[in-house]
């Protein structure tokens, strides 16, 4: 059996490991466009901040794939998938045969068509090569504008501020991390970042990037913000352009069933580019997070190797560290369903909120503490009714033997 895996990120490697556990004799080929051996995308902000060296992001020893008996071909791009022929076309024009195929090419940065976007000094932050380019360029820059206050934008702003740069974040919506945190919780995190010198321009857009060959500023409405560098932090999109003409069904991402199979026979997909079932929202969603990619890769690999395994779906889990303060979001946020009720717990050092639907947890957001979040996530996953103890659940002392009494309400 010849398994071909396109992409060597979290999902692709997880699938290869699963296949090898089940079938010691299978042929496994991983094809990836990237130059570097598999590395941790989650570590990129730490590299940018100067907290770890790029070499520390590499996930496996140099001989790992040889010992796993996997043929890893880097700097090789798949340009077309031909399911009728059971082949993939690589950049050289060569066709490679497969018996089972996994698409796990991850995501690409979103880059809007802003006037001046091609000026020198404009960067994305989705790969180790992006980080290296920023680090080289920032030696001649003092002020950076980060476009977007989503997950990538906030990580970039935090890392650059740790490097001593003046940072301004421009976000078209009215709060930070708007798809992860409700505005009231987002303001708590924004205050922490402002305390570290980061400035915010919310509810507005960068309409133009100014300068000659290189960045000299940005235009926000009618105002000009001087800067020497711009980092795009708007978000990502699935890397699936090469699937045109393949007949693989797509919406925003690749549509898969509970076994991670696509609409074409013996073609599977896993990771950031899939749309799979979200049990909280009751519909297909894209869930571009590392743990989900690892799990989907394992499930896809087991099914490819002939062991039928079900992926029961996943819900959104995001955690970010901002100057030593953790912010966590699991499940839904308020704008998705106005009928959700909420409970909030506030202290001088932390704020916790949970969103409820019919006595069950639909979402939770923490800033400044992670206490009891694992227990609460298990309640959410199981769909437990928490009506009888929801008033106490947010108190950090809830699972402690010394807990005695109701929490502070807001």
Q: Which residues are catalytic?
A: 42
Beta bridge partner(s), residue 57 = none
Beta strand ranges found along 150-259 (DSSP E): 166-171, 199-202, 206-211, 215-220, 223-226, 229-232, 236-238, 254-255
Task: State the helix-helix crossing angle for 151-162 and 183-195, rounded to 10 degrees.
Answer: 10
Distance CA 200, CA 176 (A): 9
Distance CA 372, CA 355 (A): 15
Distance CA 200, CA 173 (A): 11
According to DSSP, residue 243 is labeled G
Name 100's Cβ contacts closer than 8 Å, sequence gap at least 6: 1, 2, 3, 4, 266, 267, 268, 304
β-pair type (229-232, 143-147): parallel
User: Coil, strand or helix: which one is 291?
Assistant: helix
According to DSSP, residue 30 is labeled E
Q: CB of 19 within 8 A of CB of 260?
A: no
> Torsion angle of alpha carbons 28, 29, 34, 38, nearest 10°?
20
Q: Is 112 exposed, middle or buried (0-12, 13-18, 19+ CB in 10 A)?
A: exposed
Instruction: Encode 39-62: b = buried (16+ Cβ within 10 Å), e = exposed.
Output: bbbebbbbbbbeeeebeebbeeee
Picking from 147, 104, 123, the residue whose alpha carbon sits closest to that of residue 11 is 104
Picking from 16, 59, 70, the residue whose alpha carbon sits closest to that of residue 268 is 16
Name residue, tokens 């022929």.
85
């Amino acid at each position: 059996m010849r398994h071909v895996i396109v992409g060597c990120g979290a999902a692709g490697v997880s699938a290869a490991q699963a296949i090898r556990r089940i079938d010691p004799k299978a042929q496994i080929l991983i094809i990836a466009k990237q130059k570097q051996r598999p590395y941790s995308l989650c570590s990129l902000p730490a590299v940018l901040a100067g907290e770890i060296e790029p070499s520390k992001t590499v996930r496996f020893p140099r001989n790992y794939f040889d010992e796993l008996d996997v043929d890893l071909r880097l700097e090789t791009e798949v340009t077309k998938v031909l399911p009728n022929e059971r082949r993939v076309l690589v950049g050289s024009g060569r066709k490679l045969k497969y018996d089972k195929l996994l698409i796990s090419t991850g995501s690409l940065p979103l880059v809007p068509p802003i006037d001046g976007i091609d000026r020198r000094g404009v960067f994305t932050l989705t790969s180790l090569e992006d980080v290296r380019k920023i680090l080289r360029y920032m030696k001649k820059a003092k002020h950076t504008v980060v476009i977007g206050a989503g997950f990538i934008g906030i990580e970039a702003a935090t890392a650059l501020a740790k490097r001593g740069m003046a940072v301004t974040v421009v976000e078209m919506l009215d709060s930070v991390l708007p798809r992860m945190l409700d505005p009231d919780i987002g303001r708590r995190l924004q205050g922490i970042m402002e305390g570290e010198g980061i400035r915010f321009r919310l509810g507005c857009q960068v309409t133009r990037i100014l300068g000659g060959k290189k960045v000299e500023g940005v235009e926000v409405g009618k105002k000009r913000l001087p800067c020497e560098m711009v980092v795009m932090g708007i978000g990502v999109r699935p890397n699936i352009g090469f699937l045109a003409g393949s007949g693989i069904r797509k919406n925003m991402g690749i549509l898969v069933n509970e076994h991670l199979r696509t609409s074409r026979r013996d073609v599977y997909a896993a990771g950031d580019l899939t749309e799979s079932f979200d049990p909280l929202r009751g519909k297909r969603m894209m869930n571009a997070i590392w743990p989900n990619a690892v799990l989907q890769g394992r499930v896809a690999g087991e099914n490819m190797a002939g062991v039928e395994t079900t992926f029961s779906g996943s819900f959104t889990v995001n955690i970010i560290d901002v100057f030593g303060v953790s912010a966590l979001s699991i499940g839904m946020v308020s704008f998705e369903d106005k009928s959700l009720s909420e409970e909030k717990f506030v202290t001088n050092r932390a704020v916790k909120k949970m969103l409820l639907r019919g006595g069950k947890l639909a979402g939770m957001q923490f800033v400044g503490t992670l206490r009891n979040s694992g227990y609460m996530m298990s309640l959410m996953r199981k769909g437990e009714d928490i009506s009888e103890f929801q008033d106490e659940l947010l108190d950090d002392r809830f699972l402690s033997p010394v807990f005695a009494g109701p929490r502070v309400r807001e």
